Chains A and B, each alone.
Chain A
Amino acid sequence: MEFNNEFILGCSAIGAGIAVISGIGTGIGQGNAAGMAAQAVSRNPSLKSDITSTMLLGQAVAETTGLYGLLVAMLLMFVQPLVP
């Protein structure tokens, strides 16, 4: 079996697809944070702006891992580091 460029590009596309699965964890985490923030607002509506900013900060930090997956997918698809 020979490894020509087309084969490597196809495998890169599969790898990019697998890399974007990291979005699952990000989605669960961000949804969890948003749900908790909604609970907190319903308990203490006077702190709404503080809770919102804290939630946004936490969600942004949680988003990082998903974004790393996205970056890996982008590199595999458009920079094509594996193609000789």
Chain B
Amino acid sequence: MGEGILLSGADVDFMIHGVFSYELFGQKLWITTSHVCLLIVMLVIIGFSVAAKRMIKRAEEVPSGFQNVVELAVEMLDKMISGSMGKFAPRFRNYIGTIFIFILLSNISGLFGLRPPTADYGVTFALGILTFLLINYNELKHQKVSGFVKGLCDPWPIWLPINIIGKIAVPLSLSLRLFANILSGVVMMALIYGLLSKVAIIWPAALHVYFDLFSGSIQTYVFCMLTMTYITSACETD
């Protein structure tokens, strides 16, 4: 290929890197770039929340400026959650709102030069496990142990292994969907910046809009909608 536009020797880099390592109980553990990006996202969310709380304390009747933004966000989340959860909405508003804001900020952090934390399977798998625990806890709580066992042995007890596989597949598919979508965006951007570095001047901005903003917000919405659907169907007693 030589000195063409496509430099085959160019370094394409989208992997997670270790920042520094430490020893714990004889294990060598790494602080990686995912941890650093996660901390930055968390700091942004915490700063926003502190500012919102200070502002709400002296809120005005006619909102202006920052109060408008906060009210718009809260109303949008409220509408989305009560639209799909119905009467169970008030109890899960906190959780769904939190993961919505967290995943959204993580996904669009690629715009600001970070490697999105959700492109690390550890992060999305933790989110999937949280959803899994919530689903099963609510199923046990609302349908009692008898309903839970009956759901596992549906329609006959011989289907028990398949139902267990179906239960385990929920967090796996949830987390893999988010992970693979964001990872594909990261890989595409890394390939474009690595291989076409000579001509990648302004036009990658359009690709950023698609891979980071559009894909990221769609996947955030889908993750939260699926979580809400699963939790609602676990809560419903018939």
Q: Could you say which residues of chain A place their CB within 8 Å of the CB of B173?
A: 64
Tell me whether A68 and B221 are in contact (CB under 8 A): no
B222's contact among A60, A70, A74, by CB below 8 Å, is which?
A: A60
B221's contact among A56, A61, A70, A78, by CB below 8 Å, is which?
A: A56
Supposing A57-B226, A74-B187 touch, asked if A67 and B218 sit within 8 A by C-beta, the answer is: no
Supposing A67-B181, A70-B184 touch, asked if A60 and B176 sit within 8 A by C-beta, the answer is: no
Contact string against B for A residues 32-65, beta-carbon threshold 8 Å, 1 for contact and 0 otherwise: 0000000000000000000001001100110110
Supposing A53-B225, A74-B183, A74-B187 touch, asked if A67 and B176 sit within 8 A by C-beta, the answer is: yes
Instruction: Tell me how far the C-beta of A35 lies from the nearest C-beta in chain B, rounded to whole angstroms.
Output: 18
Tell me whether B218 and A56 are in contact (CB under 8 A): yes
Q: Which residue of B lies closest to A67 (CB)?
A: B180
Tell me whether B177 and A64 are in contact (CB under 8 A): yes
Interface of A is mostly: helix
Q: What number of A residues sit within 8 Å (CB to CB) of B?
A: 13
Instruction: Tell me how far the C-beta of B231 lies from the nearest C-beta in chain A, rounded to whole angstroms.
Output: 15
Interface assignment of A28: CB less than 8 Å from any CB of chain B: no
Supposing A64-B173, A74-B187 touch, asked if A57 and B222 sit within 8 A by C-beta, the answer is: yes
In the docked arrangement, what's the CA distance between A61 and B218, Å? 12
B residues 136-190 with Cβ under 8 Å of A?
A: 173, 176-177, 180-181, 183-184, 187
Interface assignment of B219: CB less than 8 Å from any CB of chain A: yes
Interface assignment of A82: CB less than 8 Å from any CB of chain B: no
In the docked arrangement, what's the CA distance between A63 and B187, Å? 18
- Supply 14 further A-B pairs (C-beta < 8 A) apart from A60-B219, A60-B222, A70-B180: A56-B218, A56-B225, A57-B222, A57-B226, A57-B229, A60-B177, A60-B218, A61-B226, A64-B173, A64-B176, A67-B177, A68-B180, A70-B184, A74-B183
B residues contacting A by CB (< 8 A) are 15, 173, 176-177, 180-181, 183-184, 187, 218-219, 221-222, 225-226, 229
9 contacts between A and B (CB under 8 A): A57-B222, A60-B177, A60-B219, A60-B226, A64-B176, A67-B177, A67-B184, A70-B180, A74-B187
Q: 7 nearest interchain CB pairs?
A: A67-B180, A60-B222, A71-B180, A64-B177, A57-B225, A64-B173, A70-B180
A residues contacting B by CB (< 8 A) are 53, 56-57, 60-61, 63-64, 67-68, 70-71, 74, 78
